[in-house]
Amino acid sequence: MARAGLWSALAFVLNLAWEIAHVRLYTIWAEADGMGVAWALLHCSLGDVLIALAMFALAGIVLWRADWSVSRPWTGGVIVVIGAMVFTAWSEWYNVYRAGNWGYTASMPMIFGIGLSPLLQWLILPPAMVGAYRKLGPVLFGHRTEA
């Protein structure tokens, strides 16, 4: 549970920063008031934590290692990145084009009709999370990381 807690905390902090940085690429920036934007940022960041936790668990199941971020960081990281990007591509498509839950501004770079920013989010942040986890884990849990 402590591993998942650390992973969740890292996911929240990094994804909240990303959400703040790219919120202007979504129509909510112009459509909502300040509280509406703040709620969307919190809501999306918490959703990102759920995605990150699901991918953390998936990597652990596939690798049969709860400590994959320490023992097999490259393999586990690839699992997290691919899984999160696949889910995000589907979620963006569904929420933009089917459900109409959010929309992109003209400033959003696109790849195959999907916003590039959310895809980059899951390409960049999981390796950063693994790196931070490997630095913080020994301090918090008292184990050594492999060199």
Question: Tens digit of pLDDT for each residue in 4-37?
Answer: 899 999 999 999 999 999 999 999 999 889 999 9
User: pLDDT value at position 144?
Assistant: 55
State residue 78's pLDDT score. Answer: 97
Q: What is the DSSP string of 10-55?
A: HHHHHHHHHHHHHGGGBTHHHHS-HHHHHHHHHHHHHHHHHHHHHH
Domain tally, the chain: 1
Report yes or no on 76 lying in a domain: yes
Q: Is pLDDT above 60 for 146?
A: no
Residue-wise pLDDT for 80-101, tens only, equals 999 999 999 999 999 999 999 9
Q: Residue 19 domain-assigned?
A: yes
Tell me the pLDDT tens digit for each residue of 59-84: 999 999 988 998 999 999 999 999 99
pTM, full prediction: 0.90
Domain that holds residue 39: 2-139
Tell me if 104 is assigned to some domain. Answer: yes
Whether 90 maps to a domain, the answer reads yes
Cα distance between residue 119 and residue 130, in whole Å: 18
pLDDT at 147: 44
Helix (H) or strand (E) holding 110: strand 110-111
Is residue 144 a part of any domain in this protein?
no
d(CA 33, CA 15): 21
